[in-house]
Structure 1
Amino acid sequence: MDRHDVSEAVTAEIVAQLHKEDLKIEHKYGCRGLTYWFDDKRKTAFCLVEAPNIEAIKKMHDQAHGDVPHMIIEVDDTIVESFLGRIEDPVKAQNTELNIINDPAFRSIMVVKFKPKSLEFPRSTSQNESLQDLHNSFSEIITSSEGRIVKQQLDDYLLISFKSVTHAVSSALAIQSHFKEFSNTFRTNELQLNIGICCGIPVTEKKGIFEDTIKLSEWLCDVVQGEIVLSADVKDLYESEHRNTSLNKEGVTILSSSNEKFLHILMDYTEQKWNKADLKMDDFSKHLGFSKSQLYRKMMALTNTSPNNFLKKYRLQQSLKLLKSKTGNISEIAFETGFNSPAYFSKCFQEKFGILPSKYIHS
């Protein structure tokens, strides 16, 4: 999939003509143009092409019309369809020479996590069945809001794509409401719900489709305090679609642009350095450009967690992934995730998840 950043003068009809020119010569380069998306508002176009390599796509575009892509990434067609709804051109309108597709690839991406606070919950068959019912209900809400489930893990994770910001937000609010009803009906006060929503385009400087947008949605879900956390762009788009109707609702947190920038710097640095045993908060302060007291206040306001506890929590989440995949024994995992002592690691793990890692790994 490639991305073209076009000028203000480019219209959907012009992009359709360029697509038509590609199709005329695609065979020369072993390519097959499947479809494209055009966003007139943001002046971006995206082409989905079967090709032997990136150079073949560049050469095809260059000979056909000279508009060489700004970025090309390798994608799986089934994943593209999950996010964008199609991998071929729509049926051409009758009595038209061109197949004009004025269909933006801009999407609202939502991450939903509903998980037990303790790894010992749920235990019983009835509780497991209740969790399955909850998952099914979420899926029904998403489908009724015209969302497309891209990825799901039965126990705790949903990744969803929406064409409309309005549908994404209304779906999140419906999930939040249903979750509260579920928690009151069943004994599930140990369950925690978190939802993150942001929006973006499929091809950026990263290698994966919607990679930037997915990552930010996961950060909103995992790091920022609040049941539903929205990026500033989601808030602005929603209010513009609803004549400035406020999104100040219970359980909804809106991340400001400045806090979003801070979150990017914080998480980029954390993901690079988290497993270094000698990593200290002084390192975070220097990298982010804050004094210790400023960093503490900023972290508490954004995450409701002190810098030291934030790093420990992040390391424990990474250790949980390693324990689930059974890559290494407990001592190896402790040192690999930045803990200086297996005993201290076990203590922190039990405090966080309600179970010793030795018991969890054998369960």
Structure 2
Amino acid sequence: MPLYMDCHDTPGIKIHEAEKAHLKDLAVQEKYDVKYISYWVNEESGKVFCLMKAPNKEAIRKTHLLANGIETCNIVEVEGGLYSAFMGKDLRDRDDLVVDKNGNPDGGFRFILTLDIYAVTRLTDFIDFDELKLPQQPLEAAERFILKNNGNIVNQLSYDRVIAVFKTPESCILCAKEIQKEFQSHQVQYTSNEWNFKFTMGLCIGEPVATTDDQIFQKALNESMWYCKIAENGKIVIPIEFEEISILCKTEMDEPGISIIDKSDQGFIHRLFDHINMNISNVDFTIDKLSKEMRLSRAQLYRKLNSMSNTSPVQFVRDIRLRYALNLIKERELSISEIAYELGFSNPSYFAKCFKNKYGISPSKIKVKV
């Protein structure tokens, strides 16, 4: 049967109350062919997360309703490998509550680090797409620091992005800072006469299932990737919540190479990416229209975005489109002109010029192996 996780928003919940509710679920689970496996309780946030096998989501809803008279906030189907990557090996007490190695309750929240890193080539001849990659040294260094800090690589989603998950905020921040220091101090070693690279990092706090998620940690993954795009080259972007939950994090975050995003700016970033992603193919999507949708003047939008990322709205939107372009070239399903139009460029020549300025080579000179 499929594996699912659900979430319950229960302010003020205590662990002993969750234990009683879980036992009630177990008592009626067979009626709907559901098998509850484990659960997490986060008393501070008032969240409870359950892991179970079931024939479908409706069976889970009915079981919770019959056992405890409660509705679930959201239910997502979980792929086993992805679950293990995020949550690690479960340690459960006798009542199926997930605990850490010291026997303390595991609140279910995880700390996500996304590393965006891309190469710029000085080669002018035709190159294979596989050559438009980074040297292995920086990727190997990143993996080494992730493992050193007890992190787990969730998935290298593409050649230029690494996502890692940690169980504590301190280990997440320390890992990011070690990667940053290594990259900045040895970047010359990682380049040759043809190569250079840039990098950014975004960190965030994630709950397994949020109310709008379609997969586990979807909201957190989106946020950490957005923070990468907001960050200046070589910088780490961290939401202020890290500072609020840990004295050590507060100390570690007080450095020039780290940008802290407060709660009002987090809302701005959410709206910004929502509007950009909805209009990524729209040739008529201008900064004036973006400003209007954000309910800001053009000058206000410029100041707000520039203060975060040291870039203009025009350049910011263009860079997002160019990152999509690189992946579309790899897929080989569209011509260069079609990619340009697909990503909102009205002129393929202008698209090619922008692409070359960012990656150092014209898109037409990238060959993709069949």
Report the aligned-residue RMSD.
Answer: 2.5
Residue of structure 2 in register with 1:302 after alignment: 308
In structure 1, what is the Cα distance between the partners aligned to 2:132 and 2:18? 51
1:46-78 CA deviation, whole Å, 9 max, x = no partner? 011111111100111122222331221222122
Pairing 1:44-123 to 2, within 5 Å after superposition: 44-86=47-89, 90=92, 92=94, 98-101=95-98, 102-118=105-121, 120=123
Pairing 1:58-207 to 2, within 5 Å after superposition: 58-86=61-89, 90=92, 92=94, 98-101=95-98, 102-118=105-121, 120=123, 131-153=135-157, 155-187=159-191, 190-204=196-210, 205-207=212-214
SS in 1 for 2:41: strand
Counterpart pick for 1:229 among 218, 237, 240 = 237
In structure 2, what is the Cα distance between the partners aligned to 1:311 and 1:249? 28
In structure 2, what is the Cα distance between the partners aligned to 1:34 and 1:152? 29
Q: Which moved further from structure 2: 270-279 or 256-265?
A: 256-265
SS in 2 for 1:117: strand
Are the counterparts in 1 of residues 332 and 368 from structure 2 also a CA contact under 8 Å?
no
Structure 1 residue 21 displacement after superposition? 2.3
SS in 2 for 1:207: coil
In structure 1, what is the Cα distance between the partners aligned to 2:206 and 2:278? 24
Taking a change above 3 Å as real, the CA distance of residues 170 and 246 of structure 1, as seen in their structure-2 partners, is closer
Structure 1 residue 129 displacement after superposition? 11
Q: With the length of structure 1 as denominator, give the TM-score of the two structures.
A: 0.89
Counterpart pick for 1:350 among 347, 350, 356 = 356
Pairing 1:237-316 to 2, within 5 Å after superposition: 237-239=245-247, 241=248, 245=251, 247-316=253-322
Taking a change above 3 Å as real, the CA distance of residues 112 and 143 of structure 1, as seen in their structure-2 partners, is same
Are the counterparts in 1 of residues 134 and 160 from structure 2 also a CA contact under 8 Å?
no
Partner amino acid, structure 2, of 1:4: H
In structure 2, what is the Cα distance between the partners aligned to 1:317 and 1:137? 23
Structure 1 residue 20 displacement after superposition? 2.3
Are the counterparts in 1 of residues 145 and 179 from structure 2 also a CA contact under 8 Å?
yes
Gaps of 5+ in 2: 99-104
In structure 1, what is the Cα distance between the partners aligned to 2:48 and 2:56? 20
Q: With the length of structure 2 as denominator, give the TM-score of the two structures.
A: 0.87
Work out which structure has the larger RCO, using CA pairs closer than 8 Å and 6 or more positions apart in sequence.
2
Taking a change above 3 Å as real, the CA distance of residues 313 and 193 of structure 1, as seen in their structure-2 partners, is closer
In structure 1, what is the Cα distance between the partners aligned to 2:158 and 2:339? 25
1:101-139 CA deviation, whole Å, 9 max, x = no partner? 422111111101222133859x9xxx9999323322322
Q: Which moved further from structure 2: 150-159 or 315-324?
A: 150-159
Residue of structure 1 in register with 2:101 after alignment: none
Structure 1 residue 91 displacement after superposition? 5.2
Are the counterparts in 2 of residues 326 and 361 from structure 1 also a CA contact under 8 Å?
no
In structure 1, what is the Cα distance between the partners aligned to 2:137 and 2:121? 20
Taking a change above 3 Å as real, the CA distance of residues 279 and 256 of structure 1, as seen in their structure-2 partners, is same
Structure 1 residue 304 displacement after superposition? 1.7
Q: Counting strand residues as a fraction of each chain, which structure ranks higher?
A: 2
In structure 1, what is the Cα distance between the partners aligned to 2:303 and 2:75? 41
Residue of structure 2 in register with 1:216 after alignment: 223
Gaps of 5+ in 1: 93-97
Aligned residues: 351
Partner amino acid, structure 2, of 1:26: Q
In structure 2, what is the Cα distance between the partners aligned to 1:318 and 1:99? 43
Partner amino acid, structure 2, of 1:103: D
Are the counterparts in 2 of residues 30 and 52 from structure 1 also a CA contact under 8 Å?
yes
Structure 1 residue 44 displacement after superposition? 0.9
1:265-320 CA deviation, whole Å, 9 max, x = no partner? 11110000121111111101111122222222222222222122222222222221
Counterpart pick for 1:321 among 312, 316, 327 = 327
Partner amino acid, structure 2, of 1:216: E
